[in-house]
Amino acid sequence: MKAWTSEEVRELRKKYHLTQRSLADLIGVTFRSVYYYERGLRVPARPTKMLLSRVERDLQEKKGGEKK
């Protein structure tokens, strides 16, 4: 499983043009939590890391599907 560092969380969000709030909604946390993750003030819990990985995979698949 990916470590989900602050940089990785921010990169995921920016790569898919998500706001902190929209990413928070996708992973079931508050937008403030995403803010803290991105600044390295908090580390996502294991279940949140799993959700981040799932969201990343789903967004990759969706993006790949749009190119066809």
Structural domains in the chain, CATH included, are 6-67 (1.10.260.40)
Q: Helices in 1-68 by DSSP H: which ranges?
A: 6-15, 20-27, 31-38, 46-67
Res. 65 pLDDT band, cuts 50 70 90: low
Residue 13: what pLDDT?
98
Please state the pTM of the whole predicted model: 0.90
Do 23 and 11 touch, CB atoms closer than 8 A?
Answer: no
d(CA 45, CA 67): 33
Residue 68: what pLDDT?
44
Mind listing the pLDDT tens digit for each residue in 4-39? 999 999 999 999 999 999 999 999 999 999 999 999
